[in-house]
Amino acid sequence: MSAFIPDVPHTPADSVLPLTGERTIPGLEVENYWFRRHEVVYQRLAQHCADREVLEAGCGEGYGADLIAGVARRVIALDYDEATVSHVRARYPRVEVIRGNLAELPLPD
């Protein structure tokens, strides 16, 4: 049984996801410390993603998937949250976004 859920509405690219504690969000003063920590990890990880297909499982706000998309051949961002999927789709067009359950990946091996 597939957990792929295709019909997710699109939101404007300039929309901001709510700060829930599940993700860090770029551009928010209160989140700067946590965002910078995440950013360093993604920057170091990106060098290992050059010319590869990458799955960002639990993509959150999407900035990490987008950073990796700058060097990877393809980036698929997976998240279960409908608002997150809609946001990432609108804000980061070079990232392929799928709504689905990590326990039942809607992707071939």
CA distances from 23 to 18, 63, 81 (A): 9, 11, 12
20 domain residue, yes or no: no
Q: What is the pLDDT of residues 51-71, one digit of tens each?
A: 999 999 999 889 899 999 999
82 domain residue, yes or no: yes
42 domain residue, yes or no: yes
Q: What is the pLDDT of residues 9-52, one digit of tens each?
A: 444 445 566 655 555 566 656 566 666 777 888 899 999 999 99
9 domain residue, yes or no: no
How many domains does the chain fold into?
Answer: 1
22 domain residue, yes or no: no
Longest dimension (CA), the chain: 42
5 domain residue, yes or no: no
1 domain residue, yes or no: no
Q: What is the pLDDT of residues 90-101, one digit of tens each?
A: 999 999 999 999
DSSP H or E stretch at residue 78: strand 74-79
* Residue 99: domain span: 29-104
- Residue 37 is predicted with a pLDDT of 76
